Structure 1
Amino acid sequence: MAGSGETSEARALGEALAALRRDCGLSQAEAGARIGMTGQGWGLYEAGKRSSLFRPDVQRRLTGALGATPEALMLQAPGGAAVSTDRPKTSHPDNAPAHGLSARGRAFEGAASDVRRLRLETDELAPWASAGTVLEYALGRWPRRGQGCVIQLQDGLRKVRLYDRADEAEMVVLGAGALDRSERIARSDVQSVSAVISRLDDA
């Protein structure tokens, strides 16, 4: 059974998550849907009833759905960054490659430097975007349904697709040769997912 200290920390972390969600103007169901979770499941995290909320990978996934970071979650919690996690922060230095579905919050200074560009080489996403189109994507920002995304795989390959949905085991995307063709990608094969924020078509 968890001690009262751990229970209060879990509650504080859950309240911080709820505050971040409200700042985004999302319901629990809407936030959960972004990562393939029910609103009830999301609510258990906000109520401090899931101890896995202390895990850095879970924090990255939840805050990524809100366009934020685990650091933002810590700062939102009462007492700032006083709420502890199971792993030291040095386990994921800023210059290390991002693993899992991490995100950098748009509210932090320097967030604009996390916007990258990519030129499409094929027409497999037409008419959404054709060969020669330059896509700007926010590194690590989780996409909404129907939004373009850049998927970096663990084996080094990169795919540009339209996001459909995801759950714990896999994510489903569209655009593997045709916009009406779905593709399933195992979450364990994904290093990062980044939302496309603009398309710059050649004149």
Structure 2
Amino acid sequence: MSGSDETSQARALGEALATLRRERGLSQAEAGARIGMTSQGWGLYEAGKRSNLFRPDVQRRLTGALDATPEALVLQMGGEPASPEALPATGLSARGRVFDGAPLQTRRLRLETDELAPWASAGTVLEYVPGRWPRRGQGCVIQIDDGAQRVRLYDRADDAEVVVLGAGGLDRTERIARSRIQSMSAVTARFDDE
């Protein structure tokens, strides 16, 4: 692979990483903080200026911070994930048909309590996108392993837990172990009951 081809591929890979991050509503600082990296360090990966972006272990680490996989990164680039045997020694390489993403599937639910007032009160209908990670201060719908569904405001997360607001009022925080969360969904619209 020539130097210009490698530079071009690094930029494309970085752009795909940036798109995945934005889809999850995270800033470079928030994504980097999840893996102990500065926003500047994360930005260098998105700009394609770090050659180790081609390493599979680095891709796993970066996409893991976004609750995604290296395969999602390849799909974002417009290719199909390669089988592990077909991967070059330098990392993932994507060529092939373009992935036609399905339109976002949204769901709705009506709040039964005033726990999130004044952000949203009982009777408010929330529209959310299953699987889309929320950004700080955004509403979220969390499916817990015991079958419970919680509606909260996302605050922050690390490798072990997610911190949300709204467990009995917006001034109260709740810590939920990541191992208990089956899915996290970002609220994209609110419809007040009229």
Q: Smaller-chain TM-score range?
A: 0.5 to 0.7
Where does the alignment leave 5 or more consecutive residues of structure 1 unmatched?
1-8, 87-106
Please show how residues 1-203 of structure 1 align to structure 2 within 5 Å.
16-23=12-19, 24=22, 28-33=28-33, 35=34, 37-39=36-38, 42=42, 47=50, 48=52, 51-53=56-58, 55=60, 59=63, 61-62=65-66, 72-77=72-77, 80-84=79-83, 108-111=101-104, 114-203=105-194
The number of equivalent residue pairs is 166
Write the letter of the residue equivalent to 2:57. Answer: S
- Taking only aligned residues, the RMSD between alpha carbons, in angstroms, comes to 3.7
- In the TM superposition, what is the alpha-carbon distance from 1:53 to its structure 2 partner? 4.7
Matched residue of 2:66: which SS?
A: helix
* Structure-2-length-normalised TM-score: 0.67
Listed one character per residue, the Cα deviations across residues 73-103 of structure 1 (whole Å, up to 9, x for unaligned) are 21345x82254459xxxxxxxxxxxxxxxxx
* Partner Cα separation in structure 2 for residue 180 and residue 121 of structure 1: 19
Q: What CA distance in whole angstroms lies between the structure 2 residues aligned with 1:138 and 1:85?
A: 31
User: How far apart are residue 109 of structure 1 and its match?
Assistant: 2.8
Shift of 1:149: 0.3
- TM-score between the two structures when normalised by the length of structure 1: 0.65
Q: Whose radius of gyration is greater, 1 or 2? A: 2
